[in-house]
Amino acid sequence: MNVFEMTGHQLKDLLSKKEISAEELTSAFLGRIEQVDGTIRAYLTLTPEEALAAARDVDRRRAAGEPLPALAGLPMGIKDNISTRGVRTSCGSQMLETYVPPYDASVVQRLQEAGGIMLGKMNMDEFGMGSSNENSWFYPTRNPWDTDRVPGGSSGGSAAAVAAGEAVFTLGSDTGGSIRQPASFCGVVGLKPTYGRVSRYGLIAYACSLDQIGPFTRDVTDAAMVLEAIAGHDSRDSTSADVPVERFTDALHKDVKGLRIGVPREYFGEGLDGATKDLVRQAIRKYEQMGAVVEECSLPHTDHALAAYYIIAPAECSSNLARFDGIRHGYRTSQATDVLEMFMNTRAEGFGREVKKRIMLGTYALSAGYYDAYYLKALKVRNLVKADFDRAFEKYDVLMTPTATNPAFRLGDKSQDDLSMYLQDICTVTINLAGVPAMSVPCGFQDGMPVGLQLIGKHFGESTLIRAAHAFEQMTDYGKNRPVLEVQA
């Protein structure tokens, strides 16, 4: 098996046995990127010299007999809205095309302390706004399973890189499904932690009350390893929860006998592709075979969640993106005769269509005379959605739904149909509104394309999710499949 087809924990064993060096492993992944990323386009920025230097340092420490951290020597990628000191962080936008942060995000610092080797920054929908990665200002990423299809969004580059063997693991961010949906489309594991479990310090914000950073990995064990490295309280993030970090890897290899699973009926209705529904139902039946107790349940306000999300998220986006004005940092137009014209032209030229649309929607929802009618009402719906989950988790340990309504669609199929594109988030936005953790794991293939099962947990219930996901993974082979890619000589 090639190293770019192996999991992180398998590679960790090879490294610890000195069957391969960190420098050799890093060089192999850089070679893989050179072979396939001309087609996949998962990366926006590569850092080969820095990666090789970090790998050599891991090898030096191993040769000296020093104790090494959990992820030592494993090549990784970072979504391009997560700040990296000295490395461009563009958010997939012309507005930040030349921005180089002077500091590392907390998650980057923690991964480096854990020994991860950063290969570069991952492509994404501009400022995290999109469900297909077609909104990147630079170029779209393509799905490794079928390069005529999208990888999902907004963390499409992060998901595609793991699926294509261009990184052992990557980080993404999830505002309304931007980790889980691309994980489903690309056939990898994607974990959105509880809001506050992972520090957002250094994440360039889209919607502060919804954004959360999490990992893409090849299997559940790797997800547990990465989450252990990045989770924990951070005094630099006012929304960071001061909750002890569990050993998430301890939840692996535990059975699910007696686990109480709720299956919300609202996620299996109109709009869900029939074949996708069948695959997810079959996956849930496997839990019954393993001894779990499965029951249908209801989250009655689910039907209102998407509308609430597309008021709350744009409202927060309108506020967060106000800073990009051509004065303080970022892109500045060359076509202006005064400050006002410079400000207007900078934002008109620097932002893409989708970002401008969401800024306008959010500004309208927050404006005098409309705040109560839209934004305040959306916040009330959010409270009702959260209450639905709270009631469900009084009875159930885990909820299970489809991650997406369909497999990956073709590039261009939905880019001119805003409503159809927004409906791609219908299975995922409720989780962000409620702030609970969720993850997507591969549960089958439909016409050769991966389909994901979404597991949803209680606040700070990641260990239960990992336990349930790992048990399913051990019973199936879906996650062991790898796409076949043409390589460039």
CB-based contacts of 367: which residues, under 8 Å, 6+ apart? Answer: none
Cis peptide leading into residue 154 (ω within 30°): yes
What residue type is assigned to position 161 of the chain?
A
CB-based contacts of 371: which residues, under 8 Å, 6+ apart? Answer: 365
| In contact, 398 and 287? CB cutoff 8 Å | no
Two structure tokens written together for 465 = 């999710």
| In contact, 355 and 129? CB cutoff 8 Å | yes
> What is the dihedral angle through the alpha carbons of 376, 380, 386, 387, rounded to the nearest 10 degrees?
160
- Spatial separation of the C-alpha atoms in residues 183 and 264, rounded to whole Å: 21
Catalytically active residues, by annotation:
79, 154, 178
CB-based contacts of 401: which residues, under 8 Å, 6+ apart? Answer: 263, 264, 267, 268, 280, 427, 454, 456
